[in-house]
Amino acid sequence: MQISCRKCRALITVPSGSIPKFCSECGTSLSATEPVESDSTRRQTASKAEAWTVTRRPSSELTDPEKESPNQSDHREIGPYRLVRQLGQGGMGSVFEAIHQETGQPVALKLLIPSLQGTDESIQRFRRESQIAASLNHPRSTFVYGAGEHEGQFYITMELMEGGTLKDIVATQGPVETGRAIDYILDIIDGLQAAHSEGIVHRDLKPSNCFLDREGRVKVGDYGLAKSFLGDSQLTQTGAFMGTPQYAAPEQLLSVDIDERVDIYALGATLFYLLAGQPCFRGSPAQVIASIASETPPKVSEFTSRVPRAMVRIIAQTMEKDPARRPQSLKILREMLLPYSTRGASLADVGRRIAAFFVDMAMVQIINSILMLGLLFLGAVAGISQLNPINPSKTLVWIVLPIAVAYFALCEHYFGRGVGKWLMGMRVIGRGSESPSLAAAMLRALILPGLSFLVSALAGVFWLDNPFASSPNFQSIAGQQTAIQLLSSSLMLICMATARRSGGYRGIHELLSGTRVVRLSGELEFRRIESFPITVPVRVNTDKVFGNYRVIGRFDGNLKPVPYLGIDPKLERDVWIYDELPPLPGPETDRYSTRARRLRMIHDGRQGGQDWFVTEAVKGGPLVEILQQTDCSWQAVRPVLLELVIELRDSATQGMLPIDLDMHHVWLDETGRIKLLDFPVVTARLLNLQGIDTTKETFSTGPTRSLPPENGLLIQLLSRFIEHHEVPLHVRQLLEELRKRGEEPSMLAYLETQLSESADRPANWNWDDRLGVLAVAGGIEVASITLLVNLVGLACFTIAFHWLSLLIVPTLVGGLATFMFGYCFNGGIALRISEVAVLRQKNLRPASKWQCGARNAFACLPFVLFASWGTLFITSASTFEMEPQIKVGLMLLGQLLILLLCGCIGLNILLSLLNPARNMIDYLTGTRLSRQ
């Protein structure tokens, strides 16, 4: 399938109909609607004119690659680089650690082996590798600085990865734990997705091509055999397999048409290697190829018992011989693997967990009802004419309790979750990120809900068999109902008494069983800012050149220097070119920083009388513009600010802070990562943003108070975000604290600590969060107050024996109880457990205790009254002696109140889900709800 960019008119071939987000030619979003003419034709002509020159070598100098010494190039000089040591060797080239002799920059230098120097096909394939790798400027792909030729030796200059490869990890440490292995694979998926979105299939993915950086994260490299769907059929050797057979898909060995699913197969084979410590198939290359083509891959569980069953199935699915039976995209595979990652989950708050528990208990009741109906049906078929009444307490012990324990234990052991946790996006894990063992899952279920059922049943038996309870009224009303409802709720609260954020919200049953519940994240590392406007430089018609770099555009701004947009002719990629240079920050030897959050310097052209240099081109936009114009959540912005804090701290320590630092120095690239620019870039959109002074930003909070630039920058960015977005209460409190600490050098360290510790803190307030609060309120707060009201109402009715006592007393007791719950717990027990704050709507500050009490009374009292009145009317009519007309009237009135209760519950749920922050009660009391 082919699509055309509406801006540059480039034709892009897309595999399997998966449309990339941005044009590979000009970086414009492919959702753009206004066609704008571009000079893509001139760009292609320039690329062809700058094709690599082939320097032919005499055949007498060519050697057999198998006989070439891998160390023969040690300590040689290749262009401006001095080789230090060899890092590895492949079929096309050797990789060396090298040092740029002028700048001291360490790099990885890939050299085309001498035996291939004299063939056009090898040189063009080597050239294509550099261009493909250079086109993928992504945090999970190795960065290419440049490519060239020196005395007939072709080379590619790449980012030096100091952490080795995944193959080195297994060779030195053995098989990798499941969660850590999944983390590595998810990093690889991130890098491959960037390639697939550009129509590029790697084709040679394997552990030795997956490199680790200083932070232990994986980057994909070595695109020597990558296939671009833009057309490279002339470089394919018909009938010859190229690659590593242990990780090659069957269709790749058969030299048939391939697509991105060969990389999915290689991902499964790589994951197999990480978990088992050895490849799926072993032996000579011929034996491996024959096994892949004819044999079913063994299961990873045959080599290790530590892998969850679900993970065994996922690996087997990715390595299916038929590509149609594999996951059809990297996105699908990532969603399958994410629950097992250590980075793919956050802490599950108590409110969400209680909501999931109630849903699971409803499933238990459904299963129990189906079983009971089956038993009754079998009894009827067997000819039993009269069935004895079933004792509710014995039913709890012998039927409901085993069903509940089996449901929770088996679902959490085999699937990691039941229906409730699946709906709430949660999962139970044991050691590492694996599903709990059967013993651990059984212990969890025996404590909760098993212990709750057991104690409630024993209490019911006690009340039924108590010789002192001679009154049948007391037995039926105050005994069994009170014991079951009150003890069930109390035991559940006791089990969750230890659930604090500092302890990972782990209850007693989880501490004893060594398990915990996590909330699955929607993104790989964190929720990234999505769909923000990409800044595209203005195209210009000019013959201006800087060395070999030709200018095709520039940014529209009023701050100097304004970077030009240029083309690297050898790598066919965009670059930024700076001239009119003011002083650069920091020592000259530190300008070639390899930190991912700073612009990578590609070429220094200040020699020879010209004053310019070249950096990577960043597809993205100014962070302040994105924060003001993008509908992004705090969960997406928090990791971005944390990255910025870390970079500002490191830059300040090394004396590398940009001169006259302001908000225009901070960019966000298209992958959602921070870039701290050496010079400010002001875009046309930023010039039009209200409240932005593009001439100068001074960082102060008062007329005489001046802050360090890095502190003031962070305070202003956080302030602008809060002005345009709804944030949790603790974020507003954090901003107030930063303003107090603004002049302190330790503010960066304090902010870094706060942002890091709040990574697992719930921040969103969506419909599912609101549903959790409603479940807690209904299952604990309303239920307990209703039970209290029922007991008081029945006692008064027994004494006064007047129906008015069923209305007046519950109203007074229920109103006082709901108000006091809200007053004492700042909105109620449900909000306190769920870590939700009640705020004033006008100034978004915490509401007073009187407001919290009134809000809780308005919110809970109708449900308490309807439930208690309905229950008391029906119970009284069926228990006490009274006139038949009164008894029928009370029964009808009770049923009507129960129907009204159900209607109010449904309406409240609907309104709360439509607007989680404010429902009818909040409009009456002038409040709103927010995360603490």
Cis check: omega of the bond before 583, within 30 degrees of 0: no
pLDDT at 317 (0 to 100): 93
Structure tokens at 596: 């991912």
In this structure, of 60-69, 259-268, 439-448, 863-872, the range with the lowest mean pLDDT score is 60-69
Binned at pLDDT 50, 70 and 90, residue 35 comes out as: very low
The stretch 60-72 carries a mean pLDDT of: 40
Length of the chain in terms of residues written: 932
d(CA 926, CA 95): 67
Binned at pLDDT 50, 70 and 90, residue 480 comes out as: low
Structure tokens at 715: 């305070």
pLDDT at 170 (0 to 100): 93
Binned at pLDDT 50, 70 and 90, residue 57 comes out as: very low
Partnered with residue 97 across adjacent β-strands are 85, 108
Angle between helices 709-724 and 747-757 (to 10 degrees): 40
Q: Give the β-pairing of 613-616 and 601-604.
A: antiparallel
136 or 589, higher pLDDT? 136
Cis check: omega of the bond before 862, within 30 degrees of 0: no
Q: Is the pLDDT of residue 872 over 90?
A: no
> 243-276: per-residue pLDDT in tens?
568 888 888 887 677 888 999 999 999 999 999 9
In this structure, of 132-136, 433-437, 805-809, the range with the lowest mean pLDDT score is 805-809
Beta-carbon contacts of residue 303 (< 8 Å; ≥ 6 apart): 275, 276, 277, 278
d(CA 749, CA 771): 37
In this structure, of 4-8, 69-73, 135-139, 841-845, the range with the lowest mean pLDDT score is 69-73
pLDDT at 172 (0 to 100): 92
Binned at pLDDT 50, 70 and 90, residue 683 comes out as: low
Q: What is the mean pLDDT of the chain?
A: 76
Q: Is the pLDDT of residue 49 over 80?
A: no
pLDDT at 829 (0 to 100): 82
- Across 132-168, b (16+ Cβ under 10 Å) vs e yields bbbbbbbbbbbbbbbbbbeeebbbbbbbbbebbbbbe
> 574-607: per-residue pLDDT in tens?
888 888 776 676 666 566 666 778 888 888 776 5
d(CA 666, CA 677): 6
d(CA 532, CA 619): 11
Q: Is the pLDDT of residue 702 over 50?
A: no
Q: Is the pLDDT of residue 184 over 90?
A: yes
DSSP code, position 437: P
Closest CA relative to residue 430, chosen from 759, 179, 762, 173: 179
Could you please report the per-residue DSSP string of 578-640? E-S--PPSS-GGGSS---TTBPPEEEE--GGG---EEEEPP-EEEHHHHHHHS---HHHHHHH
User: Which of 421-430, 590-599, 879-888 has the highest mean predicted lDDT (pLDDT)?
Assistant: 421-430
In this structure, of 226-235, 574-583, 730-739, the range with the lowest mean pLDDT score is 226-235
Binned at pLDDT 50, 70 and 90, residue 916 comes out as: confident
- Across 569-593, b (16+ Cβ under 10 Å) vs e yields bbbbbbbbbbbeeeebbbeeebbbb
Beta-carbon contacts of residue 151 (< 8 Å; ≥ 6 apart): none
Binned at pLDDT 50, 70 and 90, residue 8 comes out as: very low
pLDDT at 844 (0 to 100): 84
730 or 224, higher pLDDT? 730
pLDDT at 118 (0 to 100): 62
pLDDT at 267 (0 to 100): 94
The stretch 868-876 carries a mean pLDDT of: 73
Q: Which amino acid is present at 780? A: I
Percent of residues, the chain, with pLDDT higher than 90? 11
Binned at pLDDT 50, 70 and 90, residue 159 comes out as: confident
Structure tokens at 218: 């994986």
Give CA separation, 462 vs 32, 390, 396, 477, 484, in Å.
73, 16, 14, 14, 11
Structure tokens at 207: 């552990």
Give CA separation, 437 vs 214, 308, 316, 507, 705, in Å.
34, 9, 22, 18, 59
Helices (H), 415-500: 419-423, 438-445, 452-465, 472-473, 480-495
Binned at pLDDT 50, 70 and 90, residue 502 comes out as: low
Phi-psi region of 761 (alpha: psi -120 to 50; beta: other; left: phi over 0): beta
CA 474 from chain centre, in angstroms, equals 54
